[in-house]
Chain A
Amino acid sequence: DQQVKQNSPSLSVQEGRISILNCDYTNSMFDYFLWYKKYPAEGPTFLISISSIKDKNEDGRFTVFLNKSAKHLSLHIVPSQPGDSAVYFCAASPPGSARQLTFGSGTQLTVLP
Chain B
Amino acid sequence: NAGVTQTPKFQVLKTGQSMTLQCAQDMNHNSMYWYRQDPGMGLRLIYYSASEGTTDKGEVPNGYNVSRLNKREFSLRLESAAPSQTSVYFCASSERLAGVREQYFGPGTRLTVT
Which A residues contact B (CB, under 8 angstroms)?
A: 4, 6, 9, 32, 34, 36, 41-46, 49, 51, 89, 93, 97-106
A50 to B67, CA, bound (A): 32
In the complex, what distance in Å separates the CA atom of A99 from the CA atom of B41? 20
B103 touches A99 (CB 8 A): yes
Residues of chain A within 8 A of B48, CB atoms compared: 98, 100
Cα A6 to Cα B42 in complex, Å, equals 10
A41 to B41, alpha carbons, bound, how many Å?
17
The list of the 6 closest CB pairs from A to B, nearest first, reads A43-B105, A103-B42, A105-B42, A46-B102, A103-B43, A98-B50
Task: Report which of B35, B42, B101 forms a contact with A99, defined as CB distance below 8 A.
Answer: B101
A81 to B33, CA, bound (A): 32
Whole-angstrom distance between the Cβ of B77 and the nearest chain A Cβ: 20
User: Shortest distance in angstroms between A48's beta carbon and chain B's nearest beta carbon?
Assistant: 9
Check B107–A103 contact: CB distance below 8 A: no
Evaluate contact between B101 and A49: CB separation under 8 angstroms: yes
Q: Contact: B42 with A98, CB < 8 Å?
A: no
Chain B nearest CB from A47 CB (Å) reads 9
Bound-state CA distance A105–B89 (Å) is: 15
Listed residue (B43, B45, B106) with the most chain A CB atoms within 10 angstroms of its CB:
B43
Q: Which of A41, A51, A93, A106 contacts B42 (CB 8 A)?
A: A106
Return the chain B residue nearest A94 by Cβ: B101
B41 with A105: CB separation less than 8 A = yes
* B42 engages A89 (CB within 8 Å): yes
Cβ–Cβ contact A45 & B105, under 8 A = yes
Q: Chain B contacts of A45 at CB under 8 A? A: 105
Q: Which residues of A contact B79 (CB under 8 A)?
A: none
Report yes or no: B102 in contact with A43, Cβ–Cβ below 8 A.
no
Q: Is the CB of A44 within 8 A of B101?
A: no
Closest chain A residue, CB of each to CB of B4 = A43
Chain B residue numbers with a CB within 8 Å of A41 are 107-108
